[in-house]
Amino acid sequence: MAVNWAGEILAQSQFYWEYSLWPRLEGLTDEEFFWEPVPGAWTVRRTSTGRHQPDSAVPEPEPPPVTTIAWRLGHIAVDMLEIRVNWHFGDRTATREDIDWPASAVEARQRLRHAYQAWSGHIRRLDDEALAAPVSSAEAPQWAGFPMVALVLHVNREIIHHGAEVAVLRDLYRAGHGG
């Protein structure tokens, strides 16, 4: 029996998107989006250039810092989706430093939805041969030599993992703010 691998992979991410992540983002406010659950939490800040960028450090501290919903949704939209769409299916010009991260809950939802739809559309068009093709080192050095399907599955895991963290942060915010 032939298996539509791209279809199966997309079914997993689409189910998560439609029944877990997207519904959990309904009603997200800017106050909640930028809420820092602990002192020193990483978030998204306006820089002197007027752009919005995430807090970060190289190397990343161990253990990693607690992050805000703004940081997590930006990570999903920008790092996991927008940059990957650009590097694997676009003109390969986008970098984390050049992209203005979402500055509000509304913008984050809009960009996340658009990036998810763009990524899914590209993955839907991949056949078995394209899914088996190695990721080039120019596109993603850490994925060089791995088949494209490994990267696609990684993106699925990241969206699910960080989406669940956003859900927990929303639960904590609601519990602490009488929601």
Q: So where are the chain's domains?
A: 5-36+64-176
Quote the pLDDT of residue 139: 63
Quote the pLDDT of residue 3: 84
Beta pairing partners, 134: 147
Residue 80's closest CA among 107, 118, 52, 47? 118
Which residues, 6+ apart, have CB-to-CB distance to 42 below 8 Å?
Answer: 54, 55, 56, 65, 66, 67, 68, 71
Mean pLDDT by 10 residues, the chain (179 residues): 88 96 98 97 96 95 96 97 94 90 98 98 95 82 89 96 97 89
Q: What is the pTM of this model?
A: 0.94
Architecture of the domain spanning 5-36+64-176:
Up-down Bundle (1.20)
